[in-house]
A = this chain, B = another copy of it.
C-alpha cells in the first residue's frame, strides 16, 4: 500500500475509533467495529497496531503531534510575548477540550494498565509544560513579568484549564462554547501579569 493511501486508511481508522468511543465508551469500542467502520479488516488492524492498546497508543501519539504542531504554529504567529502566550493558551484549551483529546482521556481512564495514561503524559502534558515555560521565558526576558518560568507556566495552565478536563471527560460538562477558550486565555494571561509583576 502506498504511503499516502496508508495515511488515508490510518485516518479512516482514527475517525472510526473516535466516533465509536464517543458513542460506546472505550470498553464498548471493539476492534471489529473499528475495522468495519473504517472499511478495513481485523487482520489489518492487528497487523498494523498489534492489539487494541497498541491502536489507542498510536492514536495518543498521533493526536499529540497534531496538538504540538498547532501550538507551534500559534506560538510562531505572534511576536509579542504576552500575545503569543495568550493565543497559544487559547489553542491549547481548544484542543485539550476537543473531542479527540477527551476521547483519549476517557480511554486512558478506562485502561487499568495505565499504559495509555503514561503515553498521554509523555507525548502531551510533559511536552506542553516546557513549551509554555519557553513562552513565559520570552515574556520575562522582554521585561513584561518576573519570576520562575516553570512556576509561572504551571500557574498559567492552572488558571487556563482548571478542572475543565476531568469534568469534560466524565461527561459532567459539554464541549465549550466558541470563544470560551479565548476568554479563559485572556483572563489567565491578565492574572499572570498581576501575580508576577515586574
Say whether A108 contacts B194, CB under 8 Å: no
Q: Which residues of A line the B interface, CB within 8 A?
A: 23-28, 105-106, 108-112, 114, 116-118, 120-121, 125, 154-155, 157-159, 161-163, 165-167, 169-173, 191, 194-195
Name the residue among A24, A165, A166 with the largest chain B CB count within 10 angstroms. Answer: A166
Given A25-B111, A27-B27 in contact, is the A118-B163 Cβ separation under 8 Å?
no
Q: Can you report 25 A-B residue pairs in the complex whose CB atoms are below 8 A from each other?
A: A24-B112, A25-B27, A26-B110, A27-B110, A28-B112, A106-B109, A108-B170, A109-B110, A110-B110, A116-B170, A116-B171, A118-B171, A118-B172, A120-B172, A121-B167, A155-B159, A155-B191, A161-B162, A162-B162, A163-B165, A165-B166, A169-B169, A191-B195, A194-B195, A195-B195
Q: Which residues of B contact A161 (CB under 8 A)?
A: 158, 162-163
